[in-house]
Amino acid sequence: MQNLNKLLVCLDSTPLDEHIIKYSSMVAELTSCDKVYFVHIAQKNLSLKVKKYFQEKITEHFTADCETEVQIQQGKNAVQILKWTDFKIVDLVILGIKPKTESTGKHAARLINEAQCSVLLVPPTANLKLSRVIIPLDFSSTSVTAINAALDIKAKEPSIEVLLHHVYFVPTGYTHTGKSYDEMAEIMDKNRRREYEQFRREQSLDDSKYELIFELDEDQNPSDNIYEMAKERKADMIIVASRGRTKMASLLKGSTAVNLISYDRELACLVVKNKSENMGFFEALLKI
C-alpha cells in the first residue's frame, strides 16, 4: 500500500483495543509508515489517567518501528474522527468493528462514506498475520486501485495470496433471446472472460501475481457472493476501492463495503480511497 505514511487508530477503551493495537502494528510494518496516531474520542473524561492507560497499552502491544502519538479528543465518534483525519493529513484510519449484537455499525458506515482517506475495518476475529486477500473485480479503474493496494502488500510480504473475484449474473429478460438460463449463463461467462482479458492488457496486469475467480450470481446481490467466497477461501481481508467520496465501486448501485459490514463482521475490510479526488470536502466539513 503506497503513500500510507500516517495512520490513525481509533481506540474506544473496550477489550477490542488490545487487538486493534496489535493489528495496527502489523499494518504499520507492512506499510512502513512514518507515524501512527492513536485517538480516543471521549464525550466527557479527558483526564491524564485515560491517556496514560492508552500509552501503557500501546507500549505493551505495538511493536512496529515508527513514531506513535496518543490523543484524547472530545467529540462525537465519527464526526470528530473525520475532522481529525484532515487535520493531521492521515492516510489511513483503522477502526475496530464489533458484532452486530453490540453495535449497529453506523459510525463505520459514515467513515467509509465520508472519510477523505482510506479506511480499514478490523473485527475482533481478524488474523494478526495476512495470508490471503480478496478483491471484488468489476473491470473499473477503482478495481485497479484495489489491485495495486493488494500487490503493494504482496511486494512487502510475498507469501500473501491475492484473489480477484468477479461476480456476473444473467440479465433480466434473457428469455426473450430464446436461450435457457444455463445457456445464457455460459454466454455471460465467456463475455466476462473476454472483458477481463481486455482489462488485463489495458492495465498491464501480471496475472502470475494473483488468482482469478469467476462466479455466477443467481440473486444479483454481489455482496453475498463476495463475503461467502472470502469465507470459503479463508481470506483474511477484503479490499475494495472507493470512487470519490461516497460512491463505492461495485457491480450494483450502492456501497459494497457498507454492505459487507452488515454481515457477521468476521473479516477485515480495507476501503482504498484516492485522496486527490476528495480535496475540498473537508474544508467545508471543518466549518460545521
Q: What DSSP assignment string belongs to 126-137? A: --SS--EEEEE-
Residues 6+ apart with CB under 8 A from 234: 131, 132
The residues pairing with 269 across neighbouring beta strands, listed in sequence order, are 121, 238
Give the pLDDT score at 283: 43
- Cα–Cα dist 12/103, whole Å: 13
Domain with 187 in it: 6-285
Give the pLDDT score at 87: 63
CA-nearest of 152, 161, 204, 113 to 3 is 152
- pLDDT tens for 147-159 read 999 999 999 999 9
List strand residue ranges (DSSP E) for 198-280, in order.
211-216, 237-243, 247-248, 268-272
74, containing H or E segment: strand 67-74
Quick one: cell of 19? Answer: 487487538
Give the pLDDT score at 167: 93
- Cα–Cα dist 143/251, whole Å: 11
Query: What does the CA dihedral 83, 87, 93, 96 come to, rounded to 10 degrees?
Result: -50
DSSP summary character for residue 88: T
Assess if residue 109 is contained within a domain: yes
- pLDDT tens for 110-119 read 777 778 888 9
- Cα–Cα dist 188/278, whole Å: 35
CA 105, chain centre distance (Å): 14
Cell 430464446 maps to which residue?
178
CATH at 88? 3.40.50.12370
SS3 category, 37: strand
Give the pLDDT score at 188: 94
CA-nearest of 214, 176, 171, 175 to 192 is 214
Assess if residue 1 is contained within a domain: no
- State how many domains the chain has: 1
- Cα–Cα dist 146/137, whole Å: 9
Give the pLDDT score at 78: 67
Give the pLDDT score at 18: 95
Which runs of consecutive H residues, i.e. helices, occur in 62-179? 78-87, 106-114, 141-156
Check if the beta carbon of residue 156 is closer than 8 Å to that of residue 30: yes
CA-nearest of 1, 3, 20, 2 to 12 is 20
Residues of the chain with pLDDT under 50: 244-254, 278-288
Give the pLDDT score at 280: 45
Taking each helix axis from N to C terminus, what angle separates 106-114 and 78-87, rounded to the nearest 10 degrees?
A: 30
